Amino acid sequence: GAGVSQSPRYKVAKRGQDVALRCDPISGHVSLFWYQQALGQGPEFLTYFQNEAQLDKSGLPSDRFFAERPEGSVSTLKIQRTQQEDSAVYLCASSRLGPNNEQFFGPGTRLTVL
């Protein structure tokens, strides 16, 4: 079946612009995660959804970052008033509910803020 998809794959934004990044998880996966990966680093947790409920948003760097998953499937990560330090790859992952389940990652969105 289809894996996790993300769009756009690449996004260039001018500093101050708002961006929206989309994630389509694997159908039926209850858990959805967003990560931020800087160049040469491992992914860093941003936020976690269980169905439509955002259970953990402790990793969001600032109040300019906002994520939603209104119907418990597709999720959007929005960054307002982008800054150069927001440049990174944003990864989405989904998994079945419960412990000891692997996460399936999308290809990521590479965001470059000029």
Partner 1 sequence: SQQGEEDPQALSIQEGENATMNCSYKTSINNLQWYRQNSGRGLVHLILIRSNEREKHSGRLRVTLDTSKKSSSLLITASRAADTASYFCATDTGTYKYIFGTGTRLKVLA
Determine how many CB atoms are found less than 10 A away from the CB of residue 5.
15
Q: Which stretch binds partner 1 (CB under 8 A): 21-29, 41-49, 63-71, 76-84?
A: 41-49
Which is closer to partner 1, CB of 87 or CB of 107?
A: 107
Q: Does 99 sit near partner 1 (CB under 8 A)? A: yes
Tell me the two tokens of residue 101: 């389940």
Determine how many CB atoms are found less than 10 A away from the CB of residue 75.
25
Q: Does 66 sit near partner 1 (CB under 8 A)? A: no
Site for partner 1 in 67-96 (CB under 8 A): 91, 93
Contacts of 63 (CB under 8 A, 6+ apart): none
Alpha carbons 113 and 49: distance in angstroms, whole number: 26
| Chain residues that interact with partner 1, rule: CB under 8 A | 31, 33, 35, 40-45, 48, 50, 55-56, 58-59, 91, 93, 99-100, 102-108
